[in-house]
Chain A
Amino acid sequence: MSDLPNQTTVLPAPGAPMTHYVSDAPFDPYEAENAASAQSKFAEASQLQLMWWKFRKHKVALYCGIFLILMYASIFISEFLAPYAQSARNTDFIYAPPQAIHLFHDGKFVGPFVYGRSQVLDMDTLQRIYTRDPTDVQKLRFFCEGDNYNFWGMIPGNTHLVCPAEDGQFFLLGTDRLGRDVLSRIIYGARISLTIGIFGVTMSFILGIVIGGLAGYHGGWFDAVTQRIIEVLQSIPSIPLWMALAAIIPVTWSPILVYIGITVILGLLDWTGLARGVRSKLLALREEDYVLAARLMGAGSARIIGRHMIPGFMSHLIASATLTIPGMILGETALSFLGIGLRAPISSWGILLTEARSVNIIALYPWLMFPVIPVILVILAFNFLGDGLRDAADPYK
């Protein structure tokens, strides 16, 4: 018997007295109630909290969300982030290729720096050839004074996150045909390209919820008419329709009006899917008992839709909006690329790509195609985020 370990788990030998066990943990007479209330923390949590708990577990979506928040945060301080001013030209460095950042020079740590470059004109091929000067160490400066700008077009300033050394250059992503810094233009372009998605979605949201909500809740002739209109709108291929609408924008409008016009166009064409979603959800929800209860208690349609029904599928709406924004961004890019969207001097990613579409650029100056990268990253991030939100939107599942 002694060879048996863990005696407590084994019954005593026959006839031997039972060993007595007393738990020394304090007795909690409300244990059951507390357990229930712990459950109820989950049960009583608001929907947003539930979504957040669920969403947190979707790591890719979480990181994509953080990435997008950073991107959107950047548009508030574009002037500060960009090493150069939006229209700054450096005619001594036309078509300069990207510069690499180094940390060590001659085996010694000097902190982030770039090597200076000298330009030679190749008069045979008429190309500007840049050669790196390995002795010219140009240390980057941080939180430094650089090109002047008007912050949000109002407050003058000249502080930048990073600037080239005094009398030096820092073109992380190279320069274009007028010696403008590609990185700075991408940063400024984000302001237009990212907001156009948000504004467009806001607009299509309002249209979608109002029209879809009315159609779904009231039904009848209004429903029938809107459904036919939606079908017609959806059956028209989107790019030609955008092109037709964009062609209506007068060429004499100022760039900022064109920006608003393009936003409106993108918003006007995008509400149909959302309106359909809202309508079908409402059709289902209005048969629910709690809606009947609210109605019996004398609530009007506005209150029933706004207070009882929309929260029922708000999560779904958020997810679908997230998935719509990339379409808007691509729409703007496509329109600008075709030359019927925004126009210089506004800089958007689409405009930057338009300037990069000639065969010369692809063959000789490929760094001008860098604006593709933020477009791809943002679109992907929005798709992953939307994916995560959709999973999170129904936390009880």
Chain B
Amino acid sequence: MITRRTALSLLASVALPTVTYAESPFFAADVKMGNIAPLAERLPRSPRVIDLPAMGRTTGRLGGSVRMLISGQRDVRLIPIYGYSRLVGYDAGLQLVSDILESFEAVDGRVFTLHLREGHRWSDGSPFTAEDFRYCWDDMMNNADLYRGGPPVDLIANGKVVEFSVIDPVTVRYTFASPMPDFLPKLASPLPLILYVPQAYMKQFHAKYQTPEKLAELIEQNRVDDWQGLHAKMGRSIRPENPSLPTLEAWRPRTAPPAEQFVFERNAYFHRVDQTGQQLPYFDRIILDVASADIIPAKTATGESDLQAGGISFPDYTLMKQAEKQHPLKVSLWRRTQGSSVSLFPNLNCKDPVWRKLFQDVRMRRALSVAINRHELNKVNFFGLGRESADTVLPESQLYRPEYASAWAQYDPDLANALLDELGLTERGGGNIRILPDGRQAGIVVETAGESSLETDVLELIVDHMRDVGIALYIRASQRDIFRSRAMGGEVQMSVWAGLDNGVPTADMAPDQLAPTHSDQLQWPVWGSWYMSAETAGEAPDLPAALQLVSLLKQWRNTTTTVARAEIWAQMLTLWADQVFSIGTVNSAPQPIVRAARMRNVPEDALYGFTPTSFLGAYMPDTFYYARE
């Protein structure tokens, strides 16, 4: 008997004669019983074809489960980050490519037309269309109950809200009043700007589409306060805790918290196939086991994880390497993308007037920077495998220039002494420590969040380097939140954190980390909060160099071409390097990645970081597979 479904599938196979799609054994029984449609029907009309040989990878085989360890149930959020299905995303070469989108057009850097794949479906089989975008725009972002402050700032250019229009069921358009170069990078972020939601499912939680009685019942059932809370809870896609929420990711959640183990299963409607017609991902299941953070390295070393990147760090490498002999696992070293693994941030907004004046003087920052013996830090903490560098972009970035990395990064105590003398700190007191103009000892309290022993180890070495030039450093470990609020209040003189978040930017990514834009920026939290709050909180900067960075960032936001953006990046990086707003130490720090020995397609050497590579995401874990033994 020929059902409508098989007829359609016949049609589909006729329409696409070149590729024959191979059904996954995982769904074979379900397809046979008619529970779900055959593969050709489930895929979009034109799926995203991943040409593995062209990427230098091998064609895999379907099946298998991957076990990973997470340190808490909140870490299920790693799956959408590793899965990295985005409207547009970065590939391994950090180029923006369309992923969920079939294609996109950007005109004048302000009109973005997004073309969806025809026949694309959510993981529950419902169609993914422009209606999902419209619901998100009309019923969420422009619903005063859900978005109290109106649409998110990422959709506002120069104070004007974006104009949204549906062209046809598979085409939507976002039109900004002025150029919005940050729009596409925001969509490609590990935590993306969300423009679409599965409206067919979400409508049942929306006051506009649901009867109040039913809504009240659902609110009661899910133990939330109001329908806004219900809508947020059921629709949370960055932390996949709702197994019935449809997704476009490679794996869909099957476990609702609380649990000690979280299982994710392959999405039958996933839009990527390999060049032979096998639907990705290759792995059927991802199993996340919750283990305490201290235990993760030990468990990984005993082969209890098939793919592990989080929870292990460089000092664990030796252990993993030894474990290779006893357990079927392989460990490789990737490089972290931060601008500096450990960076010192003199607080230019600190309350103490003497120190504030000193830190705002570029000679002080340069002196502190050249007083650090980066070679020793590298040797002691990274086995000499890191790169001694200022806090700037990595050589892997197309924006890199060697002079950024070497600016004020040499070890030159004589120069440091000369600079400090020039600042008037010529007198020395007890312990050969310099005396400040007001008679105090030149002692800087450096605060750390005390989360990693790496920071404290690096600091212990730096304390000695600074003592040699007559500056006393005192280390104070506190807690992340307390530390942030103290920095904001100007009570912190100097803090320690990782350097630039994204050390491998392209010209099209916003250079906002180089200018005061956020209160998180430890060198100028008060100025950062000024711009973050749209000039309502904090204080405006008065330092010419900082103002210049702000105006360059503004210029960047108005650019329309990559060349112009690269030009502004270069200016900003030059200024940043020369001004030493963050005192970098060592970057490209190695990060061990452990995998099962028979797992294939995992790169041996790659970049590891949140932005832009989305940890493993840009390397497509959906193409990893187990080789036959």
Q: Footprint of B on A, CB under 8 Å?
A: 87, 89, 91, 94, 121, 123-127, 177-179, 251-252, 343-345, 355, 357-360, 363-364
Residues on B with beta carbons closer than 8 Å to the beta carbon of A178 = 380, 457, 460-461
Q: How far is the CA of A283 from the CA of B225 in the complex (A)?
A: 59
Interface flag for B318 (CB, 8 Å): yes
Closest chain A CB from B248 CB (angstroms):
38
Q: How far is the CA of A251 from the CA of B379 in the complex (A)?
A: 31
Interface flag for B477 (CB, 8 Å): yes
A357 in contact with B294 given A91-B380, A252-B478, A343-B477 (CB within 8 Å)? yes
Closest chain A CB from B139 CB (angstroms):
45
Interface flag for B317 (CB, 8 Å): yes
Closest chain A CB from B382 CB (angstroms):
9
| CB < 8 Å neighbour of A121 from B322, B376, B383, B456 | B383
| CB < 8 Å neighbour of B319 from A91, A355, A357, A364 | A364
Q: Report which residue of A345, A355, A360 has the largest number of chain B beta carbons within 10 angstroms of its beta carbon.
A: A360
Residues on A with beta carbons closer than 8 Å to the beta carbon of B297 = 358-360
Is the CB–CB distance between B380 and A125 below 8 Å? no
Is the CB–CB distance between B318 and A364 below 8 Å? yes
Q: How far is the CA of A186 from the CA of B295 in the complex (A)?
A: 26
Interface flag for B7 (CB, 8 Å): no
Residues on A with beta carbons closer than 8 Å to the beta carbon of B316 = 359-360
Residues on B with beta carbons closer than 8 Å to the beta carbon of A126 = 317-318, 321, 383, 385
Q: State which residues 143-167 of B face A: CB under 8 Å.
A: none
Given A91-B461, A178-B380, 14 more A-B residue pairs with CB atoms under 8 Å apart are A87-B460, A125-B322, A126-B317, A126-B385, A178-B461, A251-B479, A343-B477, A355-B453, A357-B294, A359-B294, A359-B297, A360-B297, A363-B301, A364-B319
Q: How far is the CA of A177 from the CA of B453 in the complex (A)?
A: 10
Residues on B with beta carbons closer than 8 Å to the beta carbon of A360 = 297, 315-316, 318-319
Contact with A along B459-489 (1 / 0, CB 8 A): 0110010000000000111110010000000
Is the CB–CB distance between B301 and A89 below 8 Å? no
Is the CB–CB distance between A127 and B318 below 8 Å? yes
Q: How far is the CA of A343 from the CA of B476 in the complex (A)?
A: 9
Residues on A with beta carbons closer than 8 Å to the beta carbon of B450 = 343
Is the CB–CB distance between B456 and A344 below 8 Å? yes
Interface flag for B298 (CB, 8 Å): yes
Q: How far is the CA of A251 from the CA of B485 in the complex (A)?
A: 13
Q: How far is the CA of A115 from the CA of B168 in the complex (A)?
A: 82
Q: How far is the CA of A179 from the CA of B376 in the complex (A)?
A: 13
7 A/B residue pairs, CB under 8 Å, sorted by A: A126-B383, A178-B380, A252-B482, A359-B298, A359-B319, A360-B315, A364-B322
Residues on B with beta carbons closer than 8 Å to the beta carbon of A94 = 380
Closest chain A CB from B432 CB (angstroms):
13
Q: How far is the CA of A118 from the CA of B182 in the complex (A)?
A: 54
Is the CB–CB distance between B376 and A91 below 8 Å? yes
Closest to A121 in B: B383
Closest to A359 in B: B298
Residues on B with beta carbons closer than 8 Å to the beta carbon of A359 = 294-295, 297-298, 301, 316, 319
Is the CB–CB distance between A125 and B321 below 8 Å? yes
Q: How far is the CA of A178 from the CA of B477 in the complex (A)?
A: 18
Closest to A253 in B: B476
Q: How far is the CA of A388 from the CA of B478 in the complex (A)?
A: 45
Residues on B with beta carbons closer than 8 Å to the beta carbon of A251 = 477-479, 482
Is the CB–CB distance between B461 and A252 below 8 Å? no
Q: How far is the CA of A124 from the CA of B294 in the complex (A)?
A: 25
Q: How far is the CA of A251 from the CA of B451 in the complex (A)?
A: 13
A124 in contact with B321 given A345-B475, A359-B297 (CB within 8 Å)? yes
Residues on A with beta carbons closer than 8 Å to the beta carbon of B475 = 344-345
Closest to B590 in A: A126
Closest chain A CB from B375 CB (angstroms):
11
Q: State which residues 360-395 of B face A: CB under 8 Å.
A: 376, 379-380, 383-385
Q: Report which residue of A87, A91, A177, A251 has the largest number of chain B beta carbons within 10 angstroms of its beta carbon.
A: A251
Q: State which residues 109-125 of B face A: CB under 8 Å.
A: none
Closest to A344 in B: B456
Q: How far is the CA of A252 from the CA of B385 in the complex (A)?
A: 35
Closest chain B CB from A157 CB (angstroms):
15
Residues on B with beta carbons closer than 8 Å to the beta carbon of A357 = 294
Q: How far is the CA of A358 from the CA of B322 in the complex (A)?
A: 16
Q: State which residues 372-428 of B face A: CB under 8 Å.
A: 376, 379-380, 383-385
Residues on B with beta carbons closer than 8 Å to the beta carbon of A123 = 383
Q: How far is the CA of A89 from the CA of B456 in the complex (A)?
A: 14
Q: How far is the CA of A91 from the CA of B378 in the complex (A)?
A: 11
Q: How far is the CA of A251 from the CA of B445 in the complex (A)?
A: 14
Q: How far is the CA of A206 from the CA of B42 in the complex (A)?
A: 79
Closest chain A CB from B185 CB (angstroms):
35
Closest to B325 in A: A125
Is the CB–CB distance between A363 and B322 below 8 Å? yes
Residues on B with beta carbons closer than 8 Å to the beta carbon of A87 = 460
Residues on A with beta carbons closer than 8 Å to the beta carbon of B457 = 177-178
Is the CB–CB distance between B379 and A91 below 8 Å? yes
